Structure 1
Amino acid sequence: MHNFKGYLMVIVAASLWGLSGTAAQNLFQEAKVEMDWLVTVRMLIAGLIFLAMALLGKKRQMVFDVLKNKFSIFHFAIFGIIGMLGVQYTYFAAIDEGNAAVATLLQYIAPVFILVYFLLILRKVPTLFEVLAVFLTLLGAFLLLTNGSAENLIVPGLAVFWGVLSAFALAFYTLYSERLVKQFDSIIVVGWGMLIGGMAISFLQSPFSVDLTGWGIKEYLLIIFVIIFGTVIPFYLFIDSLRLINSKISSLLSCSEPLSSVVASVLWLGVPFGIWQAAGTVCIIAMVFLLTLKPKNSKAGVPEKEADIAT
């Protein structure tokens, strides 16, 4: 029962992440909500909620331990601005320029960047698993972005740029958070990361600078959904699921995120999705499975961390 509960928590969390991207696309393209503003508000509110939750827990003092020395302040600033804000901003920018399905799938090539990083650091000849994973990623990205035709790019160039940059940012986020989650609870790391990133972007986009003209109940509900159901609840469910199941299983089950994003984009927003794009989706998800299930004696690859959550 504990395992089943953990599985369910991860699947719900990943599905909510996928749906939140589709909700954001609706806000950007139909309600004309500014992408920068939504990122700012989402991060600030979610960060405050996470830290408030941590203050109500048993390790409340750990929330303030972050501020006790320059070393932790410096590393949380790097994590919050380059890691957390980098992931959130590039992901939403990819949605704004393209669509949620492609943005989510492009972000899922992050494990390959992490794999390349470890291969370069360890100077190790890649295994068959790793070579196959890279091949599947390249093939999947090609099919996803061109729908099988090398002569045309069916996804806007800027969407591809932001999507790939989002994968780089997620790779950095995952690697850099390693030292932080060893010292602090994951909910505190996510909370401070969100809040610091939100405060940083506030200098460029004030959360109070927004044009509410034309907004109705639908727009307000979608914004609440993105912040609460697309950020706070899934992050909490994913973190809490790690008490019940290991991070390898969590990583596998989190593949339901791009699936939910694709299904929601097609059924809700009417985003065209051809058979070759579907094949590309399968390739990218297969890559995640390969890297997660590869033999333990392979030293390179994606580390099993609680913090490989970002969208």
Structure 2
Amino acid sequence: MNRGKGLFLVITGAIFWGIGGTVAKKLFQQYGIDVNWLVSTRLLIAGGLLLVIQLIGKDRSQVLTVWKNKRTAVQLIIFGLIGMLAVQYTYMASIKHGNAAVATLLQYLAPVIIIIYLILRKQATLTRQDIYTVSLALIGCFFLLTNASLSQLSVPTPAIIWGILSGLALAFYTLFAIPLLKKYDSLVIVGWAMIIGGFALSFIHPPWQMDFSHLTLEAYSYLVFVIIFGTMIAFWFYIKSLQSLSPKESSLLGSIEPLAAVLTTVFWLKEPFGVFQWVGTACIIGMILLLALNKNASSPKRQSQKKKETLYS
């Protein structure tokens, strides 16, 4: 696959994911779609489609062999419940109580949480790079959530709480997935994790228990977009892009996601956004770009520089 196609896939996937959150907010506001129903439905359908893609591919045996090892099976169930389901539910709950822009930006605090966790576990050292990213995240969140006014939060408290929980869940999701992804294809792991999460949430709100009488053709088109484009294709395109781009490049271009969420929230849903909230948005996007640029810098020269920059061990 040529480089141009890889660039197209990762950029398109990031845009779809960002817009998908905004479209979900539209479903919550205008059509009263239940968060539990939407999360369970999108996970089950998207997860099933990802496994179908794997079955069509060259290594279809992984779809079933992942369950033959007991330890791996337990890890996959934990990943599906505490990782995948938690990420999806907290993100959608934050959107429902606030908006897609703030929910997406708060979710992107996960890299900072991961840095802090690794430092506390003494699996990494604190560098100037870490200080810069943490500072950008904290300053960005302050302006984003308060609009530079401590007297009144510009975002509802439940949206902030769910958003922070979403960042924590994404951090767990990222760290816990590493040993699983070393053994099996990412489509298999994420596909099954989606199905596990969707199945578990089905006990709270079964997908088939839904009043579809009030839904219009427009509402159905929104549902299709969230499930197919905002979930399944967004992830699939990102994975496919890694065949011609480095993880560093894909991560960098993936930062278009929060930008897409912000722009569609402001210009499509007409959500008000203050000047200082734009400053906060710029800070958090800057944090993402800074982390992405440094994510896979593992050359000897860079390692030498990192040793010189180390402030804490």
The two structures have a TM-score, normalised by structure 2, of: 0.93
Q: Which residue of structure 2 aligns with residue 58 of structure 1?
A: 58
The residue type paired with residue 136 of structure 1 is L
Deviations 1:137-195 (A, max 9, x none): 00000000011112210100000000000000000000011011111111111100101
Query: What is the CA–CA distance in structure 1 between the aligned matches of 2:142 and 2:241, rounded to whole Å?
Result: 34
Q: Which residue of structure 2 aligns with residue 247 of structure 1?
A: 247
1:275, distance to aligned residue in structure 2 (A) = 1.4
Q: Does structure 1 retain, via aligned residues, the 8 Å contact 2:54–2:63?
A: yes
Deviations 1:206-228 (A, max 9, x none): 11111223211011111011000
Q: Which residue of structure 2 aligns with residue 102 of structure 1?
A: 102
Aligned partner of residue 119 in structure 1, secondary structure: helix
Query: What is the CA–CA distance in structure 2 between the aligned matches of 1:8 and 1:114, rounded to whole Å?
Result: 29
Q: Which residue of structure 1 aligns with residue 286 of structure 2?
A: 286
Q: 5 Å matches for 1:18-33?
A: 18-33=18-33
Q: Which moved more, 1:123-132 or 1:152-161?
A: 123-132
Q: 5 Å matches for 1:198-277?
A: 198-277=198-277
Q: Does structure 1 retain, via aligned residues, the 8 Å contact 2:20–2:225?
A: yes
Q: Which residue of structure 2 aligns with residue 139 of structure 1?
A: 139
1:271, distance to aligned residue in structure 2 (A) = 0.6
Deviations 1:228-263 (A, max 9, x none): 011111111000101111111111111111111111
- In structure 2, relative to structure 1, the CA distance for the partners of 1:151 and 1:21 (3 Å cut) is same
Query: What is the CA–CA distance in structure 2 between the aligned matches of 1:285 and 1:183, rounded to whole Å?
Result: 32
Q: Which residue of structure 1 aligns with residue 4 of structure 2?
A: 4
1:124, distance to aligned residue in structure 2 (A) = 5.2
Q: Which residue of structure 2 aligns with residue 13 of structure 1?
A: 13
5+ residue gaps, structure 2, are 308-313
Query: What is the CA–CA distance in structure 2 between the aligned matches of 1:292 and 1:122, rounded to whole Å?
Result: 22
The residue type paired with residue 3 of structure 1 is R
1:6, distance to aligned residue in structure 2 (A) = 1.4
Query: What is the CA–CA distance in structure 2 between the aligned matches of 1:2 and 1:124, rounded to whole Å?
Result: 35
The residue type paired with residue 182 of structure 1 is K
1:277, distance to aligned residue in structure 2 (A) = 0.8
1:2, distance to aligned residue in structure 2 (A) = 2.2
1:274, distance to aligned residue in structure 2 (A) = 1.3
The residue type paired with residue 6 of structure 1 is G
Aligned partner of residue 30 in structure 1, secondary structure: helix
Deviations 1:23-71 (A, max 9, x none): 1000001111111100000000111111111111110001101111211
Equivalenced residue count is 299
Q: Does structure 1 retain, via aligned residues, the 8 Å contact 2:259–2:285?
A: no
Query: What is the CA–CA distance in structure 2 between the aligned matches of 1:231 and 1:30, rounded to whole Å?
Result: 21
The two structures have a TM-score, normalised by structure 1, of: 0.93
Query: What is the CA–CA distance in structure 2 between the aligned matches of 1:229 and 1:237, rounded to whole Å?
Result: 10
1:3, distance to aligned residue in structure 2 (A) = 2.2
The residue type paired with residue 231 of structure 1 is T
Aligned partner of residue 31 in structure 2, secondary structure: coil
The residue type paired with residue 39 of structure 2 is V
Q: Which residue of structure 2 aligns with residue 150 of structure 1?
A: 150
Q: Does structure 1 retain, via aligned residues, the 8 Å contact 2:14–2:256?
A: yes
Aligned-residue identity in percent: 48
